[in-house]
Amino acid sequence: MKKFWITVLLLIPVLAYSQFEDYFTKGSLRVDFVLTGNDKNTTASLFELKKEPFFGGNLKKTIDEFDYGEFRFSVKDAESNQLIYTRGFCSLYEEWQTTEEAPLVQKSFYQTITFPFPKKDVFLTIERRSRDGQFYEIMYQKINPGDFSVNQSHLTNVETHKIVDNGSKDECVDIVFISEGYTAAQMDKFHTDVQRMYDYLITQAPFDKLKSKFNFWAVDAVSQDEGVTDPRKNIWKNTVLKSSFNTLNSDRYLETVHTFLVRDYAALVPYDQIYILANTEKYGGGGIYNHFSLTSIDNPRSLTVFIHEFGHAFVGLGDEYFGPDEIYNDYINQDIEPWQANLTTLKYFSSKWKDLLDKDTPVPTPSAEQYFNVTGVFEGGGYVSKGVYRPAFDCRMKTNEADGFCEVCQRAIEKMVLFLTTDQ
């Protein structure tokens, strides 16, 4: 199925800007929905449609070039049946499906997608990737963008700031940072923290050569309490985005399930990616592809966590670590090739980084010192020690101690940046 999906995308013409104007107008249409299920079944139901004032993406590349994500959605013009927009995405929901709790209960998670605001009626299809890699439909909806039920309200009395300005939203990747656990008196600290993230980002390859392609925005979301909730320590905070450690029963996993609220704050500026900075010293964070990232800001390892989680959310990079303490059960199906660019089961390795291997590098690659600094195929990744392989002995997607992203991850990042910022 992976190969078929790529082939289909190559046959779909990318909309020229003139065609973009035929189908879309200013702003975005936000679709809020609810994912419900257990370890085996998934359903999706519409919650609300909202009009957002900005669309942060590339106006000339509305068709996804990547086969990333556990979900994907497509938008067709209802009159002509022309495919006009596609994207892949992930959710906290599919992670929960692999936990020990999922076979025991039905549970629901908020989820949101956005696309350029359509001029006319459209058909929206949302699909879920099954265990064997095939996609199946979980929601099909005809949408009338002129319907009175499309919510056009927005938050007021919230300050926004463009911390790093390298150009227009159509020329740059716009990252919106939202404060979490910062009181009204701590907004100067928040702005300094956002600048600190940019200053670190541009020291890391490949961002160092792409630094002019990023805008950083700050949205001053004011919390009543400083810090974030930490259930294992019986610490409960009144914060604006209601984030918490111990997500999915993992102490270091810092997330919020209040996705609609996050999007309300993000919508105040143009954005391609959402990043939440949590005003806490405790180690932790999380990042979900085309959803959002979150990291604690005052831990000694906050900078490396920041960029690791950004790798998840921006490019869909997989975790390259493994060990007995991981919370997921059989996360990757080893009978097929995983969609993540930096993981392989060797089932369809030619679609991954085979072209980057030196002819003398053995496959699999031994974890021996002579291969520590080469691109190879090292066993262990995707939370398991056997059957899943990573491209480097160490990488930012594996540990905080790595020098940075490996060659394979760097290539994936650069491809995504160029997809979002260039015509070609």
Residue 269: CB partners within 8 Å, gap ≥ 6? 54, 160, 162, 174, 176, 217, 219
Q: How far apart are CA 421 and CA 38, in angstroms?
A: 38
Structural contact between residues 289 and 64, judged by C-beta atoms closer than 8 angstroms: no
Residue 5 predicted with pLDDT over 70: no
pLDDT at site 4: 35
Q: What is the pLDDT of residues 103-141, one digit of tens each?
A: 999 999 999 999 999 999 999 999 999 999 999 999 999
User: What is the per-residue DSSP string for 172-229?
Assistant: SEEEEEEEES--GGGHHHHHHHHHHHHHHHTTSTTGGGSGGGEEEEEE----SSSS-B
* Residue with more model confidence, 12 or 158: 158
Q: Which pLDDT does position 105 carry in this prediction?
A: 97
Per-residue model confidence (pLDDT) at position 2:
36
Q: What is the pLDDT of residue 323?
A: 78
pLDDT at 326: 61
Q: What's the confidence (pLDDT) of residue 232? A: 98
Closest CA to 382 of 416, 349, 334: 334
User: What is the percent of the chain where pLDDT is above 90?
Assistant: 91
Q: Which region among 12-16, 36-40, 129-133 has the lowest average model confidence (pLDDT)?
A: 12-16
Task: Report which of residues 9 and 185 the model is more confident about.
Answer: 185
Q: How confident is the model at residue 327 (pLDDT cuts 50, 70, 90)?
A: low
Q: Using 50, 70 and 90 to split pLDDT, how confident is the model at 7?
A: very low
Sign of the Cα torsion 144, 149, 152, 155 reads negative
Which run of H or of E encompasses 116? strand 107-118
Mean pLDDT of 306-313: 98
Q: What is the pLDDT of residues 138-178, one digit of tens each?
A: 999 999 999 999 999 999 999 999 999 999 998 999 999 99
pLDDT over 50 (residue 6): no
What does the mean pLDDT of the chain come to?
Answer: 94
Residue-wise pLDDT for 55-71, tens only, equals: 998 998 999 999 999 99
pLDDT of residue 331: 82
The fraction of the chain above a pLDDT of 70, given in percent, is: 94
d(CA 60, CA 57): 9
- How would residue 325 be classed by pLDDT, with cut points 50, 70 and 90? low
Q: Is the pLDDT of residue 383 over 90?
A: yes
Q: For 265-307, what is each residue's pLDDT tens digit?
A: 999 999 999 999 999 999 999 999 999 999 999 999 999 999 9
Residue 1 confidence class, pLDDT cut points 50, 70, 90: very low
**Tokens standing for residue 129:** 């990737």
